[in-house]
Each structure stands twice: as structure tokens, then as C-alpha cells.
Amino acid sequence: MVSPVVSSTRAILQSIPPISSRSPCICTRIEATRQRIRQQRRLVSTGSIHQQEMEVDAPAPRWAHTPPAMKGSLTVRKLTNKGGRHDVNKDPRRLDSFYTRLLGPDGPKLLSDETRWLAVTHKSFDHGRRGFNDRLAFIGKRIVELQTSLNIISSSPAGAIKAALMDDGREPFEHPALAGLESLTQEARHHFTHHAGVARIASNYGIAEVMRWVPRNPDNLANSGADMVYAQAMLAIVGALALEQGGAVANQVCKEKILLPLGLAKQLPSIQQKALHKETPVLSS
């Protein structure tokens, strides 16, 4: 038989709730709250630092630096440039000013940032490791040649050539689609597509200030082939406009910025007459 003292003590102990049943839950919640607070403080304190690291680690555009994978550990060949040092443009504002003079107030917006630099970069600059404008110039040259041929045919005085061809008594075949075709001579076409004339137009717009190339003799740019380099850059701009803005914009720039300044409307009649006098003996024989 259980004594009353033992039974009362057991009843008291059973009535007291166990402490260990609630303490783990409370401690767990407190610890989780503390961890969240520490994480929030860490994020707030290091947010600006992470932002700065992201800005520093952002890769620079290709036109601004040589790709690390294309750099060698040592120089294989010794520099053999004669004369002084030729500095190239590194200021984007100067480049935008050139495109504004060439294409108008919205000129810099017509091409992307990388393409604007690529069009004025020759393959001699940095050994071509930052890209160069050969392919753009190839497209631009085809466009300039096509527009030159079309403008020569459309603006040719077909009547004067017809009268000269009819001196031998024969009547040539006539058709509206063939009017002015006789004016499309190699001499007339070569006059407007020669690199010397295109380079002169490019120099008037100030392409020498933004052209990136390494001349063989910095003290004599003409003997280093400056005319060919400037003309190629001008053609590359036309090709870049055709790729990014379409053929209509490239054709308009070609006509207004290259062919008309070269005197297509003024010099074409005299060039055609010279070509006609050279070809007349061949036709009459």
C-alpha cells in the first residue's frame, strides 16, 4: 500500500509541466531570428562593395583593349617604324564628332559603339587583334561602284552620244531602258571610285583625326599609304551603314557624301565627252 506522502509528491511532480518540452522550440526560434538579423546586416553593409566589384569586373569593349588571349609573352619582331611616334585617337567624343560631321546630328546613333570604332580601324593597328575594317570596306566598295554606275546612266546626255554615233549613217537601236548606257565607260566610272578622290572627301570630314592605323613612316603619311587607308575607312562606313541601317540609308549616304562632293553632276558631261572622243575612231573603223 502506497503511503499518502509518496502519492502526494507524485501528484505534485505530475502537475508541473516539463521544462525540456518547450525550451528546444524557443531556442530554435531565437537562434533562427538571430541568424536572419546577421544575414541582413551583412547584406546591407556589403551591398555597395559588391556593386563596386561588379562594376570593376565588367569586361571592357574590344576596341578599347587587346584581348588577353591574343597577347604574346614576348615581342617576336623588333619595331622598324621610321620617324616619330604616330598617336591614335582614344577619345569616344572625338569619334562621335567625326560621325556628326559626316552623317549629321544623329550620325553617332546610326551605328553601334563597336562598329563605329571598327570602321575606322586599319589592320595595321595593334596587328589586327582588335578587329579591322577590311570586310566592311569590301561591302562599301560594291555599293559605291553600283551607285556610281546607276547615277552615270541616269544623268547621262544620251542625245549627244547618239548624234555622234549616227555620223556613219547607221541608226542605232533605241529603247528607254538603254538610254544613257553608252555613257557608262570605264574612265567615267573609275573617276568617281578611285581611292584618291574618296580619300580627299574623307579628309575633308576629318577622318585623319580619328583613324586608327600604324603608318610605316609617321613623318610622311602620304608615302605610307594614307590615301588608301582613308578611302578604305570611308567605304567601310558605307558598308557598316548597309549592315545596320539597310541599303536605302547606305545608298543615300553614298550619293550625298561621296558622289555629289566628287562632282558627279558637274564633271560627268566633260568626262563622257572625253571618253566619247577616245571611242569614236574605233566605232567608225
- Is residue 3 included in any domain, yes or no? no
pTM given for the model: 0.66
d(CA 124, CA 212): 8
In a domain, 1, yes or no: no
Here the CATH number for the domain that contains residue 211 is: 1.10.1520.10
Can you list the alpha helix ranges (DSSP code H) found in 155-263?
158-165, 186-193, 195-204, 226-245, 247-254
Considering the domain boundaries, does residue 175 fall inside one? yes
Residue 64 lies in a domain: no
Grid cell, residue 216, equals 610605316
Domain annotation covers residue 92? yes
What is the number of other CB atoms lying within 10 angstroms of the CB of residue 150? 13
Tell whether 55 is covered by a domain.
no
Which residues in the chain land under pLDDT 70?
1-10, 12-29, 37-59, 62-85, 156-168, 172, 177, 265-285
For residue 58, being part of any structural domain is answered with no
Classify residue 229: in a domain, yes or no. yes
CB-CB neighbours of 229 under 10 Å: 26
Give the contacts of 179 (CB within 8 A, at least 6 positions apart).
Answer: 156, 158
CA distance 259 to 144: 8
* pLDDT attached to residue 252: 93
**pLDDT tens figures, 137-186:** 999 999 999 999 888 887 765 554 555 556 667 776 777 767 777 777 78
Q: What is the mean pLDDT of the chain?
A: 75
The range of the structural domain enclosing residue 142 comes to 87-284
Contacts of 165 by beta carbon, 8 Å cutoff, 6+ apart: 172, 182, 283
Count up the domains in the chain and report the number. Answer: 1
